[in-house]
Amino acid sequence: MTPTRRTLLAAALGAAALLTGLVPPSSAATAPASEPTGVTTLSTGWTIPWGTAWLPDGSAALVTERDTFTVYKVTPSGTRTRVGTVPNSQTTGGEGGLMGVAVDPGWATTRHVYFMHTSSEGNRIARMTYDGTTLTGYTTIVRGIRKARYHNGGRLAFGPDGYLYASTGDAQVTSLAQDRNSLNGKILRMTKDGRPAPGNPFGTLVYSLGHRNPQGLAFDERGRLWEAELGQNSRDELNLIKPGANYGWPACEGTCGVAGMTDPKKTWGVAEASPSGIAVADGAVYMASLRGQRLWRIPLDAGTEEVGTATAYYVGTYGRLRTVTTVPGAKHLWLSTTNADGNGGQPAGSDRILEVTIG
């Protein structure tokens, strides 16, 4: 058979397959993008599991419970062990308490773990020592983050640059988000002892401003920082964070096109999202949604700063979804519920950690 005839026959067979439904249309041009392929329950008996951070060796993750101030070690198989509590913590009668956790990338040497939590005077970032069995020691590295019943932010993440990033809410005082002298309504970037990281745009801890209640932070394969935040009554946001950029709150909720303010890369109505944690896996941002009770997948464009069409999974199946985390060395995600948080209507102990396979 000549090359021309072979090419024509292949095209005809491909068209026939599409028409008969044997091949999905997306495979005609490129291989289908990875997406969630299954979900199982990994661990039960939780009460508002808020933050998750893996040890660098992948042997276990540390998981915080917001209102009990307790930290657990969870193995890849789901075995849970209590390792301690974070002192000086308190709730706010709303969304404050023990929130984010981040493990020092050099943990094998330092044994340091970082927490963001509410205390008597405000929200703090603190460092403790975890020897693989027990949490000990306590050092506050950042104070002065105003607290409120709601809008405390709370996420921590180490960047590929080795510095610690933190998200803070506006503490229900909207003007703080635009105040460069305030630590509220910001993304902060710091050294491991809480000092402003070299290269910060204003010479302070502030890395970006104009945020309402950011609860999602994750870095992609290109080292870019993505952030998700809860809107007020209109639009929730997914932002690409750049140093010194102003993301608009309270002048803007969602896209507004105001000079000097940076528009989000994607928005949602608050009823279909109200996002908390995010993770990046296989070229996409995965976003856990509280009020929306679903997991969003937002594909990233490898060559631009744009994002593709968002797809929702597990809508209403598991209730309020708080944190999504990649599993080291595996095409899996951990996804936690917080249905016992006062808004989900479930009792203490009803939350769980799910494992999602992608492929």
Distance, CA of 142 to CA of 125 (rounded, Å): 5
User: How many other CB atoms are there within 10 angstroms of residue 260's CB atom?
Assistant: 9
- Domain hosting 176: range is 33-358
For residues 227 and 321, give the distance between their C-alpha atoms in angstroms, rounded to a whole number. 16
Closest CA to 288 of 235, 211, 250, 236: 236
Per-residue pLDDT reduced to its tens digit, 256-287:
989 999 999 999 999 999 999 999 999 999 99
211 is an active site residue: no
Residue 57 lies in a domain: yes
SS3 call for 58: coil
Place of tokens 């709303």: 94
Tens-digit pLDDT profile for residues 138-163? 999 999 999 999 999 999 999 999 99
Residue among 112, 151, 211, 332 flagged as catalytic: 151
| Count of domains observed in the chain | 1
Measured between alpha carbons, how far is residue 88 from residues 115, 166, 180, 259 in Å? 12, 19, 27, 42
Q: Which H or E element spans position 116?
A: strand 112-118
CA distance 237 to 255: 9
In a domain, 277, yes or no: yes
Domain membership flag for residue 8? no
Task: Say whether pTM exceeds 0.75.
Answer: yes
> Is residue 142, in this structure, part of any structural domain at all?
yes
CATH number at residue 131: 2.120.10.30
Residue 6 lies in a domain: no
Q: How are beta strands 295-299 and 284-289 bridged, if at all?
A: antiparallel
Full strand arrangement of the beta sheet holding 156-158: 156-158, 164-167, 186-190, 206-209
* Tens digit of each residue's pLDDT (9 = 90 or more) over 24-53: 333 333 335 789 999 999 999 999 999 999
